[in-house]
Amino acid sequence: MSDFMGNEKHERTSEGASTPVSTESNVDVSKLVNVCQKVFRNWNWTSNGGLCSRGTRIILGWNPDMVDIMILSQSDQVIHTQILSKADKKFTELLDVKGHGLHFTWNQKPKDGVGFLKKIDRVMGNVKFLEMVPDAFVMYHPFRVSDHTPCILKMVTMNENKPRPFKFPNFITTKPEFRKCVELEWSKSVQGVTMFSVTKKLSNLKPHLRKILYKQGNLHTKVTELRKKLDDIHVLLDKNPLDASTRRNARNKIHSVKDSAGNRYEGNGVADALVAHYSNFLGVEDQVAPVNLDDLFLNVLSSHAADNMVRQITREEIKMAMFNIGDNKAPGPDGYTSAFFKQAWDIVGNEVTDVVLAFFENGKLLKQINHTILALIPKKETPYSVLDYRPISCCNDVLYKCISKIITDRIKGSLVSLVSINQSAFVPGRKVSDNILLTQELMHNYHLNRGPARCAFKIDILESL
């Protein structure tokens, strides 16, 4: 690589790294010593320059205070090494550090207008490094003058003072302290409507539940099991190093993103860019013009079915809906799962039931309950833009889920008489995939030239402005 000494290469190598750094270059063998002394400084280094017909193809540098390197084999394309950590005398197993930006890191110069794109450059760290710097990420930048993308490792400083969000651990419902602290908090009187009282008590209860969890200390058995699973994964990785699902790390943070206009944001700016994008995409609250609904719907409910749907909500119906919510459903910002309410129902059940009844009487919800999280799921291996994420909505509160479950149970009994046969979703026994298979059958052999003339229209119906 002709620009080995440029800024691009200095960004790709760092003396603060705890693992070896390798790079491809076109440095002449006669100049290699001077170049590496300036770049790697007090690091050790080696190369496969003696095996290359011209220049040096691979330069490998490492910190000798941290690791020992044994060269197992090498060619003009590959240096195969074994790495031994001096801290624990264990062979270092490397995992990919999560990345953003370009996915393909190398491009072959086009021949006759045709070239190749491949993912061959990686930034990797051992398990200890990923534990110490869990927010580390890599930015894969555009190629510029090189055929390799600059790979820049960023080790974000963690804010230790930032409190972690509360998440109710279901297993503490088996602890004797659990019921005691729930009974104590629920015996207190809170001024305000029942809905506010319940949300306030749930909030005040969190420090007590955190204390119970803290007293558990280090769960040695669980830790041992997890370490065994990690060892098994490392064995699988060693047998199949190209298995991306084995190598992939948890990706629960977005460190860098581009908005739809091409502007890149990092740190706190990421959240602002995503909020702006989805505010524009999903729209904001505005005045809605009245719509004439007369004769709009051909299928309508019978008066008997309509009366049955809006019948009085019962306390038994609320309890049944609550106990039909899965214990391990992902919690929202309040952190509670349905397991809390089920295990403490004899304590909190009456007041929780009053909250649900109150909603069906006045149709009002506090913002602490009527709150939804947009979770962003990457569509691709190396997401870079706001368009590279798929949003899914997560209901905030178990009370919200209980209310929606009651409404859903009442509606689904009448859907068969309202939904047409060609509408595959929302009706038990039908699948969205049915229409996909039907379309495939209709379009079968449309690509053939023989037979009668035919055509097909794919129509997107958009709302007129």
Task: Round to whole Å and give the CA distance between 144 and 149.
Answer: 8
Lowest mean pLDDT among 13-22, 122-131, 179-188, 358-367: 13-22
Task: Round to whole Å and give the CA distance between 104 and 120.
Answer: 8
Q: Between 176-186 and 345-362, two packed helices, what is the crossing angle to 10 degrees?
A: 40
- Using alpha carbons, select from 426, 428, 460, 456 the residue that is nearest to residue 441: 456
Of the chain, the end-to-end C-alpha distance in Å amounts to 54
344: CB partners within 8 A, 6+ apart: 173, 178, 179, 182
pLDDT surpasses 90 at 348:
yes
**Paired tokens of 360:** 């069906």
Task: Round to whole Å and give the CA distance between 60 and 250.
Answer: 28
- Using alpha carbons, select from 327, 281, 313 the residue that is nearest to residue 410: 313
Q: Report pLDDT for 288.
A: 79
Q: What mean pLDDT is predicted for residues 408-426?
A: 76
Task: Round to whole Å and give the CA distance between 95 and 251.
Answer: 13
pLDDT greater at residue 458 or residue 276:
276
- Dihedral pair phi/psi, residue 460, rounded to 5°: -100, 120
Task: Round to whole Å and give the CA distance between 376 and 252.
Answer: 9
Q: Report pLDDT for 4.
A: 32
Q: Report pLDDT for 202.
A: 92
Confidence (pTM): 0.55
Q: Which long-range contacts (CB under 8 A, 24 or more apart) does 128-133 make?
A: 128/18, 128/85, 128/87, 129/18, 129/19, 130/95, 130/97, 130/249
Q: Report pLDDT for 464.
A: 37
Over the stretch 75-95, which tens digit does the pLDDT of each residue have? Answer: 888 888 888 888 777 777 778
pLDDT greater at residue 144 or residue 81:
81
pLDDT surpasses 80 at 272:
yes
Q: Residue 176: which pLDDT band, with cuts at 50, 70 and 90?
A: confident
